[in-house]
C-alpha cells in the first residue's frame, strides 16, 4: 500500500451565517449551507474540500451535495491520490450533475496530496505568483445602504468593487451604481447581472450609466446562461467588456463562446467547473487572448484559499472576486492565506492549502 493511498473520507455539513443577507438577481441567502470533506491518506496527510451548492446557480442543495459526497467514499477509499486526475474523472462521470461535490473532492485530494509532498498548492499550480487582490461585492440593496457598504470597503483598503445589478427595476440598478461611485470615487467598478437582463436592458443600463459619466470595467453575465447570441449582441453594441459566468459551464462552452466572439472574458468558478476543467478553461482563454477572472459561490476561507492558490500559482487572472469570507459572521478555519486589505498572500503556506480547523 502506498503512503498516498486514501485511507478515509469524512463528510459533514458546513453551516456558516452571513453578516447580512446577500441578494443577487437569482436569489438571496442568509448563510452558507455547504459541505465539508476531510480526506486522510495512509501517511496521515489530511486534505480538506468544500462544496458550496447554490440551487439557482448549480441546481444543487446541501442535501444533494451531502448524499453525493457520501457516495464518493466507496468510490475513492483505497485508491491512490497521486492518480487525482483519474479519480476526478471517475467522480465527474458518476456525479456529473453535482459539480460542487466534484470540486470539493478534487480540493481535498489536492490538499492531502500536496501536504504529503510537502509542497504548497500554489507551487503545485506553477508558482507564477504568491498573492491575489480581490474585490468586494455589494448585493442588490437600496442606494443609501450601498453607499454605506462602499465607504466601509474603502476603509478596508480594498481597491475595487463588484456591484450586483440585474434587478427588475433598471432605475434602481443605475441609482445603486451611481451611489457607490459617489462613495468610492477612486475605486474600480465591475457589474454583475447574474442573468437578470435581456440584451436590450443590459445595453440600456450601460447607456444610462454612461450618461452619468460612469463606465464600468466590465459587465458579467448580463443575460440567461443559454443566451449565447444575446451575449454576442451586447458585445457587438458596447465597448464595455462582457464576461461570461454561468454560461461558461465547461471548456466546450467556453470554446464556443470565444469562437462566436460573444465575450471578452471568462469567470472561472471552481464550484462550477472543478479543478480539471478550470485548468482547461484557463488554457483555452490564454491561447485565445481571452481575459480571465476567478470568482466564487458563498464559500468559506477553505474554498477561497483553493481558488487563491490556483489563481496565484497559475497566473494571468485580470479580475479576482474572492470576497465571501469577508461576508461571513464566523470563520471555522485558519490559514490558507494572510490578508492585507483586499490582498490574499499565500507565500507563508508550507504545504497543501495551509488550512486548519478552528
Predicted confidence (pLDDT) per residue in 195-254, tens digit: 999 999 999 999 999 999 999 999 999 999 999 999 999 999 999 999 999 999 999 999
Q: Which three cell numbers stand for residue 193?
A: 447581472
CA 43/CA 6 separation, integer angstroms? 9
Q: What is the mean pLDDT of residues 30-35?
A: 95
Q: What is the mean pLDDT of residues 158-182?
A: 97
Q: What is the mean pLDDT of residues 291-310?
A: 98
CA 128/CA 309 separation, integer angstroms? 10
H or E segment and range at residue 6: strand 6-24
Q: How far is CA 208 from the centre of its chain?
A: 29
Contact 302, 50 (CB under 8 A): yes
pLDDT digits (tens, 9 = 90+) for 184-197: 999 999 999 999 99
Identify the CATH homologous superfamily for domain 6-118.
Enolase-like, N-terminal domain (3.30.390.10)
Question: By percentage, how much of the chain surpasses pLDDT 90?
Answer: 95
The DSSP letter of residue 184 is -
Residue 1 has pLDDT above 90, yes or no: no
Dihedral angle over CA of 310, 128, 113, 333, nearest 10 = -50
- Architecture of the domain made up of 123-357: Alpha-Beta Barrel (3.20)
**Per-domain boundaries in the chain:** 6-118, 123-357
Amino acid at each position: 500500500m502506498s503512503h498516498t493511498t486514501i485511507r478515509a473520507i469524512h463528510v459533514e455539513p458546513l453551516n456558516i451565517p452571513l453578516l447580512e443577507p446577500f441578494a443577487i438577481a437569482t436569489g438571496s441567502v442568509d448563510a452558507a449551507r455547504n459541505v465539508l470533506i476531510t480526506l486522510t491518506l495512509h501517511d496521515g496527510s489530511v486534505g480538506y474540500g468544500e462544496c458550496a451548492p447554490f440551487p439557482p446557480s448549480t441546481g444543487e442543495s446541501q442535501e444533494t451535495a451531502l448524499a453525493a459526497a457520501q457516495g464518493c467514499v466507496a468510490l475513492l477509499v483505497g485508491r491512490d491520490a497521486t492518480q487525482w486526475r483519474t479519480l476526478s474523472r471517475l467522480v465527474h462521470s458518476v456525479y456529473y450533475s453535482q459539480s460542487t461535490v466534484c470540486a470539493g473532492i478534487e480540493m481535498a485530494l489536492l490538499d492531502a496530496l500536496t501536504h504529503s509532498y510537502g509542497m504548497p498548492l500554489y507551487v503545485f499550480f506553477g508558482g507564477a505568483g504568491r498573492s491575489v487582490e480581490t474585490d468586494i461585492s455589494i448585493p442588490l440593496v437600496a442606494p443609501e445602504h450601498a453607499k454605506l457598504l462602499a465607504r466601509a470597503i474603502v476603509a478596508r483598503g480594498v481597491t475595487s468593487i463588484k456591484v450586483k445589478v440585474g434587478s427588475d427595476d433598471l432605475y434602481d440598478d443605475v441609482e445603486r451604481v451611481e451611489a457607490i461611485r459617489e462613495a468610492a470615487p477612486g475605486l474600480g467598478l465591475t457589474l454583475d447581472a447574474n442573468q437578470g437582463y435581456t440584451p436590450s436592458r443590459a445595453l440600456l443600463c450601460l447607456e444610462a450609466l454612461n450618461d452619468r459619466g460612469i463606465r464600468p470595467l466590465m459587465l458579467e453575465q448580463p443575460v440567461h446562461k443559454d443566451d449565447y447570441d444575446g451575449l454576442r449582441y451586447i458585445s457587438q453594441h458596447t465597448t464595455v467588456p462582457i464576461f461570461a459566468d454561468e454560461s461558461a459551464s465547461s471548456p466546450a462552452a467556453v470554446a464556443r463562446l470565444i469562437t462566436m466572439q460573444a465575450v471578452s472574458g471568462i469567470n472561472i468558478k471552481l464550484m462550477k467547473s472543478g479543478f480539471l476543467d478550470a485548468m482547461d478553461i484557463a488554457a483555452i482563454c490564454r491561447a485565445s487572448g481571452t481575459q480571465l477572472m476567478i470568482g466564487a459561490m458563498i464559500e468559506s476561507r477553505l474554498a477561497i484559499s483553493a481558488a487563491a492558490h490556483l489563481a496565484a500559482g497559475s497566473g494571468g487572472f485580470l479580475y479576482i472576486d474572492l470576497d465571501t469570507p469577508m461576508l461571513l459572521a464566523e470563520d471555522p478555519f485558519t490559514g490558507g492565506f494572510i490578508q492585507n486589505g483586499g490582498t490574499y498572500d499565500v507565500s507563508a503556506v508550507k504545504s497543501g492549502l495551509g488550512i486548519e480547523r478552528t
